[in-house]
Structure 1
Amino acid sequence: MEKSDDGEGKMGAKEIENHRDWADLTHVCLINVLSRVGHEDRWKGPMLVCRSWLHASKDPSLFSTFDLEPRFQSTTSEDSPLWWRPDFEAKIDGMLRSAVDWSEGRIEEIRVRHCSDRSLAFAAERSPNLQVLSIKSCPNVTDTSIAKIASRCCMLRELDISYCYEISYKSLELIGRGCPNLKVLKRNLMNWLDPSQHSGIVPSAYLNALPQDGDREASVIAEHMCNLEHLELKFSKMSDKGLALISDGCGSLEHLDLFGCANLRSQAMEHAFAKLKNLKKLVRPNFFIPRSSFNAERYGHWRLYDERFQTGAFFQI
């Protein structure tokens, strides 16, 4: 457009911007833009713009990592109960299956919550390069899909199965045997000492399904995961015996988190910790219950624990 003497007909920068066709961006440029957008946000906007944007949104290079953890961390507590509904699980399953499919086998890191056995088994079969798997709070993930992870994803180096109560010690054994590169294991449980903090969020039936076989899990970890460097067992019910096995079998541990492990005694802990020569960070079982909310019937046994071992750990003024 030619510029007239009085400036009429001139297209300003803003007008040019309004007339620019974003669909004409090259595929490389689109991928560069989309790589800066969160995984869930791509489903909500860019994929619906036009065919070229949809095509770019499925590029395998965008799916070496599939991480929904920021979405869960940023959600308010009011929305948390919705995560346990079947329709929410179905949504997460759909996103995970799509990400795995579009990655064309390149996916190396998966961080989701509330997926099911179906989608995780799908991921296991198509993710030979998987190195990091975090599936916290998945009530419908069982030993079945973890067995497939263990047999298909031998490069796994980090596993977080915290709050997954349908996963048993059998899975830990299979992972230990099939994934020799595993360095990080997070097997944290919910706070069974004071379950009121989960009330209204986590279904009561699920809270009551808390695993009781802490020593058996500790035994499997000690025998089959001797190369671990980072281990988290918050609120595990293992006893002194289980901790002793871990200290004997996992000599490479640098990080050990035992917060809330109320069945451990001070003397046994000190003996076990002395064996872990590489330990750099240790989180002890200290757990505080405010005296203002103390209920003798509910917490009386922890008062006896405190008096017996003189830890001063369970009650705070």
Structure 2
Amino acid sequence: MDAPEQPPPPPPVADPSAASGPNSDWAELTHECLINVLSRLTSEQLWTGPMLVCKSWLRACADPSLHSAFDLEARFGSSRESIRWWSPEFERRVDAMLRSVVGWSGGGLAAIRARHCSDRALDLVAERCPSLQVLSIKSCQNVTDASMARIASRCTNLRELDISYCYEVSHESLVLIGRSCPNLKVLKRNLMNWLDPSQHEGVVPEGYLNACPQDGDSEAAAIGKFMPRLEHLEIRFSKLTARGLSSICDGCLDLVHLDLSGCANLTSRDIVNATSNLKNLKQISKPNFYIPRSVFHTERYGHWRLYDERFQTDIFRI
């Protein structure tokens, strides 16, 4: 395996004297002014720069108004995935980061886009974020039906859910989410490419690869019965059959986008027959479309060393 790519340097901290004259001190800016400046930064920029400047900036970074959304997806998707992401240590750090944001949000967190978190973090999300509308948690090997049941019961405003590559989440969670979240419009339940598992060897733990869900039709039945308002559905490399696809298409008549890439158990005739009643369908990706391997690497995986020695501070403690 090639040597891991070195992380990009953090954004430079502004020089107070250069910005505001020789006698100015950015640490003395009012809280309101700091919030105005910090609100223009991304989640990544917030965590890798201002939090490390001084205590007043750290306090400002924890203001609830800055934490209506927590989005790390852009950095995860920037390049190839690292085997370190699947380690318990990395998972604990992502959990700590997410739990901190949940606490700072004051209940106002509306969108989460992260990877490699666990039930520990999602339990706190369910407890304190009733306004959550977007939950994207790809590649979480320790997110289970237990935390998803709590999300379903307490975050009933969900409109977008991405549980791709979360193999400990079953069709039972789809049933609960569908029953409790009537506004759900987007579901992404993609699986890893089991047709060519060599893509993931040496990165994803072998035991996890072998745990790829087999119950494609059960998941399809749950989607078709309990998520009638879906408009966007991705189930790449699902092992559903023609019967499962019919369940989806009979129950989700509002579908506009349907991604069936890699669903090897489906034929072209199966797809034509099942989707013939979807009057709003505008885009469909079929299993026999050629999909370059690079697509899956760049879409699912990225490389971001979120943490290094500089981040071993109290900001990761609840």
Structure 2 length normalisation: TM-score? Answer: 0.83
Aligned mates of 1:18, 1:167 — CA distance in 2: 57
Aligned-residue sequence identity (percent) comes to: 64
Aligned mates of 1:113, 1:107 — CA distance in 2: 17
**CA drift at 1:130:** 0.2
Q: What is the aligned counterpart of 2:132 among 103, 107, 130? A: 130
Q: Counterpart amino acid of 1:265? A: T
Q: What is the aligned counterpart of 2:39 among 35, 38, 62? A: 35
**CA drift at 1:143:** 0.2
Cα-Cα RMSD? 1.7
Aligned mates of 1:35, 1:82 — CA distance in 2: 31
Aligned mates of 1:226, 1:289 — CA distance in 2: 29
**CA drift at 1:18:** 4.4
**Mapping 1:62-81, distance limit 5 Å:** 62-74=66-78, 76-77=79-80, 80-81=82-83
Q: What is the aligned counterpart of 2:55 among 51, 56, 61? A: 51
Cα distance change, pair 65–14 in 1 and its aligned pair in 2 (3 A):
closer
Q: Which residue of 2 aligns with 1:295?
A: none
Q: Does residue 185 of structure 2 align to residue 188 of structure 1?
A: no
Unaligned runs of 5+ in 1: 1-12, 291-317
**Mapping 1:204-243, distance limit 5 Å:** 204-243=206-245
Q: What is the aligned counterpart of 1:60 among 49, 64, 78? A: 64
Query: With CA pairs under 8 Å and 6+ residues apart, which has the higher RCO, 1 or 2?
Result: 2
**Which runs of at least 4 in structure 1 moved beyond 6 Å after TM superposition?**
none
Q: What is the aligned counterpart of 2:171 among 152, 169, 172? A: 169
Larger radius of gyration: 1
Aligned mates of 1:147, 1:271 — CA distance in 2: 34
Cα distance change, pair 210–119 in 1 and its aligned pair in 2 (3 A):
same
Q: Which residue of 2 aligns with 1:114?
A: 116
Q: Which residue of 1 aligns with 2:281?
A: 279
Q: Which residue of 2 aligns with 1:100?
A: 102
**CA drift at 1:268:** 1.5
**CA drift at 1:70:** 1.4
Farther off after superposition, 37-46 or 265-274: 37-46
Q: Which residue of 2 aligns with 1:22?
A: 26
Q: Which residue of 1 aligns with 2:202?
A: 200
Q: Counterpart amino acid of 1:39? A: S
**CA drift at 1:40:** 3.6
Q: Indicate the SS of the match to 2:255.
A: coil
Cα distance change, pair 15–215 in 1 and its aligned pair in 2 (3 A):
closer
Q: Which residue of 2 aligns with 1:155?
A: 157
Aligned mates of 1:207, 1:131 — CA distance in 2: 30
Unaligned runs of 5+ in 2: 1-16, 293-318
Farther off after superposition, 281-290 or 255-264: 281-290
**CA drift at 1:213:** 0.1
**CA drift at 1:289:** 8.6
Cα distance change, pair 92–16 in 1 and its aligned pair in 2 (3 A):
closer
Q: What is the aligned counterpart of 2:141 among 130, 139, 142? A: 139
Structure 1 length normalisation: TM-score? Answer: 0.84
Residue correspondences, number: 276
Q: Indicate the SS of the match to 1:275.
A: coil
Q: Indicate the SS of the match to 2:136.
A: strand
Q: Indicate the SS of the match to 2:126.
A: helix
